[in-house]
Structure 1
Amino acid sequence: MTKKNVIFKILGLILVFIGLALFLASVLLNVRQYREAAKTLKEFRETKEEIENDSDLQEAYKEKEESKDYEEGELLYILKIPSIDSKNPVKEGVESNVLSDSLGHDPSTAYAGEQGNCVIAGHRNYSFGKYFNRLNEVQIGDELYLETMTEEYCYEVTEIKVVEPTDTYILENIGDEETLTLYTCTPIYIATHRLVIIATRVNN
């Protein structure tokens, strides 16, 4: 075997090891995120049960939800998308530390239950989080649910589109309705554009 062939063989092995390392890192991240989301959902359910059995606690949470006085990283909602079997926590903020283990609510936009556009962002790849990995499967007419500690709001998908990363108009209010906008990077892994799902609140 020539020296050149040996070098190519070594480089090939190095690339294989790098690929395996990246794959294992993705798997470990996926497991960590799954456990973190499961833990958050469990804590949410336990707290909600306590609230339902305590009128004073229920009133306190209602006042907090009305005040909209939330800190970055604080749990706001559980977003449920039955059509893709998705149920994930939504925390306040869209910074990287928030989106690493949950979906994030843009604090510059409306909140669930009030007039305006409630905007929620999330990742959809194994490097940064897979919470919106199946968002591209959502269809017009599908129902989305935002569950708080005291209420649940239902929205119906009315529009699906792909926009440029610079198209910040998706954060703006849409008329005088209560709307919910979900957005994530697309295509998956390449992320040159943004997939946007727009839904309007319906009676529930």
Structure 2
Amino acid sequence: MSTGLPVSRPAPGLPGEPSGSPGSGVRAPRRAPRRRILAATLALCGVLVMLYPPAASWWAESTAAGRLAVHAEQNRSLDPAARSALLTAAEDYNATRVTGLVVDPFSNVEGADAHGIDDDARDYLAQLAHDPEGIMARVRVPGIDVDLPVYHGATEETLRRGSGHLYGSSLPVGGPGTHAVLTGHSGLPEAKLFTAVHDLRAGDDVFIDVLDRTLAYRVTGAEVVEPTDVAGLAVRPGEDLLTLVTCTPIGVNSHRLIVHAERVDLPDGGAPPEPSRPFPWWAVLAVVAVLAWAATVLAPAGQPRRH
């Protein structure tokens, strides 16, 4: 029932009136742009995922380069007589202890590495063992940007850090009647390692640095074999050979790629110069992506619009 008294009604658009109420003439400010934040975050995650392989590879190569620099300094600091003794011992080992009986380095069976310790394994691990990090040599393939430390044996731990020297093959010090076999992983997302070995062709050069000695080998060919086929790793009388072994096809790893090389004289210019480290452009892209994400997420939602 009406009281007859006038009813006070607030005028539309007065201060304090809930924004966006009927008749206010103002659209309510938009809420936090959740879709925009989600889209920006997903885009950032996608960019970071794409940048992971080059970033991880750059880090692995930088770590290996640091270890090799320390190794080279230790070699230079050795007394010349000590270096000569280490090389002589390795050459004697090749002449008297190497049988050439090897197994597939990626088979994870007994005999694939030197860590089932017995007297023969102890003798092997004592060769070229002057580096506290366990580096015995260095393998460089300038044509495919491979530059890795070489460690004793072919354990999984070893092959994650660099190249492994296959136990049972000749130590990589060169000489007639020797055949050194170096192994490495291919296709790892976090490190290139021997991935580019698939691109080697006849005529490409491979260099081995051991103590104060640099050995040059030239690729003569490659073959794909079953894991159990190790005939191509045997010593050949009078020849100085080097073989690089990795799994193939990448990601399947059902066979082995074996790249053969034979000893040649060093090029006229000597050993190749030290490789330069590429600029980490992935880091720049990562910073740009993060800044773009921050600008998108932290930007104001925008001013409300009037009708």
TM-score (norm 1): 0.77
Question: Separation in 2 of the partners of 1:172 and 1:102?
Answer: 23
Paired residue for 1:161?
A: 223
Question: Separation in 2 of the partners of 1:158 and 1:49?
Answer: 32
- 1:62 correspondence with 2:124: no
The percentage of counterpart residues that share the same residue type is 27
Q: Whose RCO is larger (CA < 8 A, sep 6+)?
A: 2
CA RMSD after TM alignment: 2.6
Question: Separation in 2 of the partners of 1:128 and 1:162?
Answer: 25
Are the counterparts in 2 of residues 58 and 150 from structure 1 also a CA contact under 8 Å? Answer: no
Larger helix share, 1 or 2: 1
Paired residue for 1:113?
A: 174
Question: Separation in 1 of the partners of 2:145 and 2:189?
Answer: 22
- 1:89 correspondence with 2:149: yes
Are the counterparts in 2 of residues 164 and 192 from structure 1 also a CA contact under 8 Å? Answer: yes
Deviation digits for residues 78-111 of structure 1 (CA, Å, limit 9, x no counterpart): 1111111221111111111111101011121112
Paired residue for 2:107?
A: none
- 1:48 correspondence with 2:109: no
Q: CA deviation at 1:63?
A: 0.9
CA 1:23 to 1:189, structure 2 compared with 1: closer, same or farther past 3 Å? farther
List structure 1 segments (4+ residues) > 3 angstroms apart after TM superposition.
Answer: 19-32
Q: CA deviation at 1:26?
A: 6.0
Larger strand share, 1 or 2: 1
Are the counterparts in 1 of residues 57 and 190 from structure 2 also a CA contact under 8 Å? Answer: no
TM-score (norm 2): 0.53
* Structure 1 unpaired stretches of 5+: 1-18, 52-56
For the residue of structure 2 that corresponds to 1:100, the secondary structure is helix
Paired residue for 2:193?
A: 131
Q: CA deviation at 1:171?
A: 2.5
Alignment of 1:164-179 (within 5 A): 164-179=226-241
* Structure 2 unpaired stretches of 5+: 1-45, 91-125, 267-307
The structure with more radius of gyration: 2
Question: Separation in 1 of the partners of 2:47 and 2:88?
Answer: 49
Paired residue for 2:257?
A: 195
Are the counterparts in 2 of residues 62 and 150 from structure 1 also a CA contact under 8 Å? Answer: no
Question: Separation in 1 of the partners of 2:145 and 2:191?
Answer: 17
CA 1:169 to 1:32, structure 2 compared with 1: closer, same or farther past 3 Å? same
